[in-house]
Structure 1
Amino acid sequence: MVLLKTLKTFFTKDDFDFDSKNIDLYKFHPHIRIFLVFNGIFFNNSESYIRYCWPVLSTMLALVGAAIELMIIHHGIITGDYSFATECFCYFIILTTIPLVYISVLFGRNKIFQLLNSMDRDFLYICRLEPKYRNLFLNGQLLIWQLCIVWFVFAMSIVTMFLISTIAILFYQSLFATQTENTVRPLIFPLWLPEDDPYRTPNYEVFFFFEIIVCLMVPQIFCVYVYVLFHILLHRYYVMDLIIFDCEVMFNDLDERVIDLPQNDPNRMKVQLILNKRIERIVKWHNMVFETINDVSSVYGPPLVYQVIISSLAICLMAYQVAESLDNGKFHVIFAMLCIATCVQLWIPCYLGTLIRNKAFTIGDAIWSSGWHETSLGRLVRQNLIIIIMRSQKPVSIKFTGLPNLDLETFSSVMSTSYSYFNILRQYK
């Protein structure tokens, strides 16, 4: 019970001081620095060459693993073992994502610093605003925290199942199997060597250790990439909610009678100044949304393009593996979960892309419904409101060369293509 209570407190942040005026990004999300360190981004000594050690090592291991998988794929095709080849091709796709993510993050680290600094300033500023602003923003940040935990638990559960299933077989062979059973020690991923037996000692021990490292490396890299992406996008999503709040109260507590006063009258100038300040904050936050999307597109554009292009093939092959195991009277639980994870990792950015796009259009509607036509004060800021409405008609979407838009329509297209590939494979197997 104590453990469950501790986990619940950790998940819901019950021990966090939400009323503090000095909450910053790193107090609320202390894990983000740790995650980015493994991506080669240091915060204290940002120019240290040590930051390249883990990315270079991980990239080398991923490339070695990808080369081995290519060799095995070729062997599977030559021998006609297409189930074996398709499984290895799935692993090849996953491994080749690692160097692409590292290169994108390391080349775009200055923009990542800028994004984090901007998000940190949002925390410090919004936490000093009225309760309705602060509460909405912090509730959104709490959701980001919880989604982070759920995402990593889900990803690590798949890795854990790969490890446990292999270790369980080893335990059985060690404790219960007899010498006459002629058992072969299992590896986490299937392996083949052209001139040697990978399952003999010491080959088995070397490859088993290598596969454990790869198992732990992939979620650490790929899951961090997906998490940072949805963290940044959801952060801006909740900032846009605050913009809509500002639109709703734009003309509150202002005296309409000043419109009849001369332009240089102090009372009219005071009201004009208040309106200008409110418009300025809306424009500032609105521009930050566009800047953030542009930065995210430039930093994470290459892995997103690869993710969209290759996911249809990966999902198809994983579904094929599950279907093949069902044909043989078995259910490949681990591969089914891996297939679900592949769909989820694509759905997350696509869903957020649609969410951000629709919320950005809502800002224009909020400006239009702000009550400018019901008060004479609307004449003081009419031109500004028109500019904001026109600006809000520009779609806010993640774009990159080879990726016109990232939205649910893209996800639907990928899934449709995967299903077509799957049917072709099943017909000509």
Structure 2
Amino acid sequence: MGIFKGFKRFFFKENFEFSRPDVDLDNFHPQLRRLIIPLGIFFNNQDSFIRFLNPVLNSTMVLIAVVMEVIFVTHGIKIVDYSFSTECFCYLVMLLYVPVLYFSVLVNKDSMLEILDQMEGDFKFICNLDDKHRDHFLKRQLLIWQFCLIWMATISTVACLIGLRTLIPLTYQTLISTHDEHTIRPLLFPVWLPEDDPYRTPNYEIFLFFQMYFLWMFVQSFGVNVYIQFHMLIHNYTILELVIIDFEMIFEDLDENVVYLSRYHPRRVLTQKIFNNRIQRIVAWHDSVFTSFDNLSSIQGPVICYQVLFSPIAVCLMMFQIADKLEGGKIDIYFAVLLSVSTFQLWMPCYLGSLLRNKGFNVGEACWNSGWNTTPLAPMIRNDIAIVMSRAQQPLSMKFFCLPDLTLETFSSIMSSAYSYFNMIRQSNN
């Protein structure tokens, strides 16, 4: 019971003082920078060559693994074992995700640092505003924190289950089974060698070690990147919500009679200054979202483009594995979980993309419905409202070469393509 209460306090940040004056990105999200460091982004010594160590090592190991998976796929096709070849090809597609991610993050290091600096600035500025802005902002940040815990726990659990799927039978064979059972020591993923037995010592131990290493590496890269996508998209979504809140308050507590005064009258000058400050904050926030999307596009563009292009193939192969096992009267829980995770990591940016696109248009609607047509103060701010409304008509989306808009329509198209490939493979296999 004490453990549950402790987790509940940690999950809802009950021990965090939300009213403290020094709330910033680092003390509210201490996990963000720590998770980004293994991707090759250092924050103290930003140009250190040590930051390349982990990405280069992992990418090199992945490329070696990809060559071996190509050999496995070719072997599976030659012996007409399509279950083996499709499973290996699925792993090949998943492995190539890792170097694409490392390359994209390292090349666009400055964009990543700029996004983090902008988020840090948002924290410091918004947490010094009134309670309405501050509470709404921190509520969304708490949601990001909770998603991080849930997602990293989920992806780590999946990785542990994959490892236990091998380690439990291996423990049984080591401690309990007898020689006359003729068991073969299991590996996490299927392997084949042309002139040797991969399951003999020391081949088996080498393959097991590196497969465990790849499992951890995939959590460290793929799992972290999905969280980063969510964090940055929801942060921008929150900024747009604050823009809408500001439009709802733009004519609040202002004297309408100043419009009948001279332009140089102190009361009118003061009102105009208040308007200018309010519009300046709205424009700055709105523009920061577009800037953030430009930076995010340069970082995540190649990764998401890879996801969009190859996810239909990976999803199709996973469905084929599940269907192939079902025909034999077995349920492949491993590939069912893998399919669920793969579908979620594709659905999530598409769903958030739709939310952000609609929220961007909602800014224009909030501007139109701000009450400018019912107050005599409208002429003092009419030009500014027209400019913001015009900018709000530009859809928010990540732009990259060959990358479609990330919306639920895109997700539906990808899943339809995956199902079409699945039917084609099933028909050719029959």
Smaller-chain TM-score bracket:
over 0.9
Distance 1:259 1:373 in 2: 14
**One-letter amino acid of the structure 2 residue matched with residue 328 of structure 1:** G
Distance 2:400 2:53 in 1: 29
Distance 2:9 2:71 in 1: 48
The match for 1:367 is: 367
**One-letter amino acid of the structure 2 residue matched with residue 337 of structure 1:** V
Distance 1:81 1:192 in 2: 12
Partner SS state of residue 187, structure 1: coil
CA positional deviation for 1:139: 0.5
Partner SS state of residue 18, structure 1: coil
CA positional deviation for 1:175: 2.7
1:250 aligns with 2:250: yes
Distance 2:398 2:193 in 1: 43
Distance 1:67 1:141 in 2: 42
**One-letter amino acid of the structure 1 residue matched with residue 428 of structure 2:** Y
**C-alpha contact (below 8 Å) 2:246/2:282 kept by paired residues:** yes
Distance 1:202 1:410 in 2: 47
CA positional deviation for 1:179: 1.0
**One-letter amino acid of the structure 1 residue matched with residue 86 of structure 2:** T
The match for 1:264 is: 264
CA positional deviation for 1:316: 0.5
**One-letter amino acid of the structure 2 residue matched with residue 258 of structure 1:** V
CA positional deviation for 1:176: 2.7
The match for 1:9 is: 9
Distance 2:26 2:105 in 1: 20
The match for 1:192 is: 192
What is the correspondence of 1:17-166 to structure 2 with a 5 Å cutoff?
17-166=17-166
CA positional deviation for 1:397: 0.8
**One-letter amino acid of the structure 2 residue matched with residue 164 of structure 1:** L
**C-alpha contact (below 8 Å) 1:41/1:109 kept by paired residues:** yes
The match for 1:418 is: 418
**One-letter amino acid of the structure 1 residue matched with residue 248 of structure 2:** E
What is the correspondence of 1:227-246 to structure 2 with a 5 Å cutoff?
227-246=227-246
- Output the TM-score relative to the length of structure 1: 0.99
**One-letter amino acid of the structure 2 residue matched with residue 340 of structure 1:** S
**C-alpha contact (below 8 Å) 1:73/1:88 kept by paired residues:** yes
CA positional deviation for 1:322: 0.6
Distance 1:218 1:319 in 2: 21
**C-alpha contact (below 8 Å) 1:189/1:211 kept by paired residues:** yes
CA positional deviation for 1:7: 1.1
**One-letter amino acid of the structure 1 residue matched with residue 205 of structure 2:** E
Distance 2:394 2:146 in 1: 32
The match for 1:354 is: 354
Distance 2:325 2:10 in 1: 39
Aligned pair count reads 429
1:212 aligns with 2:204: no
CA positional deviation for 1:48: 0.9
Distance 1:175 1:299 in 2: 49
Post-superposition Cα deviations, 1:108-134, rounded to whole Å, max 9, x if no partner, equal 110110100000010011111111111
CA positional deviation for 1:404: 2.8
Distance 1:231 1:49 in 2: 27
The match for 1:314 is: 314
**One-letter amino acid of the structure 2 residue matched with residue 254 of structure 1:** L
**C-alpha contact (below 8 Å) 2:66/2:92 kept by paired residues:** yes
Distance 1:7 1:60 in 2: 38
Post-superposition Cα deviations, 1:381-418, rounded to whole Å, max 9, x if no partner, equal 10110111111011011121111311111100000001
The match for 2:340 is: 340
**C-alpha contact (below 8 Å) 1:90/1:314 kept by paired residues:** yes
Partner SS state of residue 186, structure 1: coil
Percent of residue pairs identical: 46
**One-letter amino acid of the structure 2 residue matched with residue 329 of structure 1:** G
RMSD, aligned CA:
0.8
Distance 1:65 1:217 in 2: 13
Post-superposition Cα deviations, 1:157-182, rounded to whole Å, max 9, x if no partner, equal 21111100101111221233221121
The match for 1:382 is: 382
| Unpaired segments ≥5 residues, structure 1 | none
CA positional deviation for 1:305: 0.4
The match for 2:293 is: 293
**One-letter amino acid of the structure 2 residue matched with residue 51 of structure 1:** R
Partner SS state of residue 194, structure 1: coil
Distance 1:74 1:158 in 2: 28
**One-letter amino acid of the structure 2 residue matched with residue 354 of structure 1:** S
**C-alpha contact (below 8 Å) 1:361/1:393 kept by paired residues:** yes
Post-superposition Cα deviations, 1:84-137, rounded to whole Å, max 9, x if no partner, equal 001111110111010000000001110110100000010011111111111110
1:327 aligns with 2:327: yes
**C-alpha contact (below 8 Å) 1:55/1:102 kept by paired residues:** yes
**C-alpha contact (below 8 Å) 1:226/1:345 kept by paired residues:** yes
- The list of structure 1 runs, each at least 4 consecutive aligned residues, that deviate by more than 6 angstroms after superposition, is none
| Unpaired segments ≥5 residues, structure 2 | none
The match for 2:222 is: 222
**One-letter amino acid of the structure 2 residue matched with residue 356 of structure 1:** L
Distance 1:259 1:314 in 2: 64
Distance 2:64 2:218 in 1: 14
Partner SS state of residue 166, structure 1: helix
**One-letter amino acid of the structure 1 residue matched with residue 22 of structure 2:** N
Partner SS state of residue 428, structure 1: helix
Distance 2:3 2:65 in 1: 39
**One-letter amino acid of the structure 2 residue matched with residue 291 of structure 1:** T
Partner SS state of residue 16, structure 1: coil
Distance 2:278 2:104 in 1: 37
CA positional deviation for 1:367: 0.5
CA positional deviation for 1:56: 0.7
**C-alpha contact (below 8 Å) 2:404/2:410 kept by paired residues:** no
Partner SS state of residue 381, structure 2: helix
**C-alpha contact (below 8 Å) 1:399/1:406 kept by paired residues:** no
Partner SS state of residue 208, structure 2: helix
